[in-house]
Amino acid sequence: MRRTAAPLAVALALTAALVTGGTSAAAPGSSHGGGLRDVMFVGNNWDGTATVVDARTHEPIRTIDTIPDRAARMAEIVARPDKLVFYLAIQAAIGEGRAQYTDDMFTTHDGRLLAVSRPSFADVVGIDLRTGQIRWRFAMEGYRSDHMGVSPDGERLLVSDSTANKVHELDIRTGEKTGEFASGDTPHENNYTADGERVFHASIGRVYTPTDRPVLRQPYDTLKGERVFQIVRTDDMTIESRWDMGKELEEAGHPGMASAVRPMAVAPDERFVYLQVSFFHGWIEFDTQAPDPDVTYEGEPAVGAVTRVVDLPKRTTEQREQYVLDSAHHGLAINPEGTTLCAAGTMDGYAAVIDRESEEFSLVEVGDKPYWSTNGVNGSECWVSVSGQDEVVVIDYDSAQEIARIPVGDHPQRVREGVVAENVLTTWR
């Protein structure tokens, strides 16, 4: 168990990578009066589009172009050898041979702006939902953007800068930078607490390296880089707590497991966090407040402990080297009541609906490469992107049954709740 109250230095990721290869954001679960439509945005990563789906009827409404400036961006990349190298490397090593154009998305409260992170273009843009034009653009310091997060008050947007090993905080209305915090190698997911005062963040390391087996990971673990799970204070961007989950798992009696925390689900009490880690077909419960009397920090007991490690069925016959970016499972949500988990079994072709207390589960056959799971607007549904089939499957939490299957664009990954203004919908019609 490790805890620190001081910011940690940012690693130099570029060198390592070359060596080794008036608006505010929509509040999840909120109800809206006339003038706003509840929708789900599905990011079609390889298409460079986002499918807008009615959150209640499950009907597709529109497809948005998330790369209207593609010609300008490609001209910029071709003119810079370093950018071209990373553009091609992302395509080959991370994008399964395809460029990554649409990763994460959040709308503003007024339903007029969509912020989109675009990995291959190493940026975030704010797109006017009525005109489809880009209002603002924020370029990464490094060469790839990734997961984002939006504050409960809708004013702040976080974006992971993959090769700069940091997370930027932006004003969602203007794209102007307002802060940053340090991460490990390849910063990944960002989740605000309900009061907006803290962020649960994880870095996943270099998931594209070939050192995937336990016998290799030990002597060559440095190739994967620093992988940490941390809690960050948003008032001054200091790191409140930081853990190496591989070490935490070893202390809990599970040696040889990976340190890379993939998607996470934060329980309503914000004490327990449910985690997926690289190569593991299952889920982990981590108590962020459990004291450890054997470890102290500044004279006080350290906190944080793995309390459960739960297996789910392993179906894939693929070798570990064939796992998509080390992801056995990638996608985890928890219902608003905190009673049920919804896990995307990426290499196993199912979604698992899990009773948090009893650990009993039901498997829903969704298809090839489910890659994300998130709650719908009313909290009774889990939306799972099925990237290998260009579909999103909607599952009822109570019955653990599929209730809708929605065709979307090429390689859907992130799915996010949002709103669109009704007068914007009118112009779309």
Q: What is the predicted pLDDT for the residue at 33? A: 56
In-domain check, residue 8: no
Instruction: Provide the domain count of the chain.
Output: 1
Most distant pair of Cα atoms in the chain: their distance: 64
Domain CATH code at residue 176: 2.130.10.10
In-domain check, residue 5: no
In-domain check, residue 3: no
C-alpha pair distances (Å), 332 with each of 170, 310, 351, 353, 375 = 25, 14, 10, 10, 10
Q: What is the predicted pLDDT for the residue at 382? A: 98
* DSSP bridge partners of 166: 161, 182
Q: What is the predicted pLDDT for the residue at 207? A: 60
In-domain check, residue 138: yes
Scan for tokens 């982990």, then name that residue.
284
In-domain check, residue 76: yes
Nearest to 45 by CA among 409, 294, 327: 409
Cα 358 to chain centroid distance, Å, stands at 27
Q: Interior CA angle at 269 toward 383 and 33, to 5°?
A: 55
List the strands of the sheet with 113-118, edge to edge: 105-107, 113-118, 123-128, 134-139
Q: What is the predicted pLDDT for the residue at 225? A: 73
| Domain ranges, residue 372 | 13-428
In-domain check, residue 207: yes
Joined together, the tokens standing for residue 334 give 């928890």
Per-residue pLDDT of the chain (429 residues; tens, 9 = 90+): 444 333 333 332 333 333 333 344 444 434 455 699 999 999 999 999 999 999 999 999 999 999 999 999 999 999 999 999 989 988 887 878 899 999 999 999 999 999 999 999 999 999 999 999 999 999 999 999 999 999 998 889 999 999 999 999 999 999 999 999 999 999 999 999 999 999 999 998 776 566 555 555 454 455 667 889 999 999 999 999 999 999 999 999 999 888 999 899 999 999 999 999 999 999 999 999 998 766 655 566 778 999 999 999 999 998 877 788 788 999 999 999 999 999 999 999 999 999 999 999 999 999 999 999 999 998 999 999 999 999 999 999 999 999 999 999 999 999 999 999 999 999 998
Nearest to 42 by CA among 54, 30, 56: 54
Q: What is the predicted pLDDT for the residue at 26? A: 44
In-domain check, residue 323: yes
Say what the pTM is: 0.88
φ and ψ of 129, to 5 deg: -70, -25
CA dihedral (92, 97, 99, 104) positive or negative:
negative
List the strands of the sheet with 300-311, edge to edge: 261-266, 272-277, 282-297, 300-311
In-domain check, residue 67: yes
Q: What is the predicted pLDDT for the residue at 204? A: 84
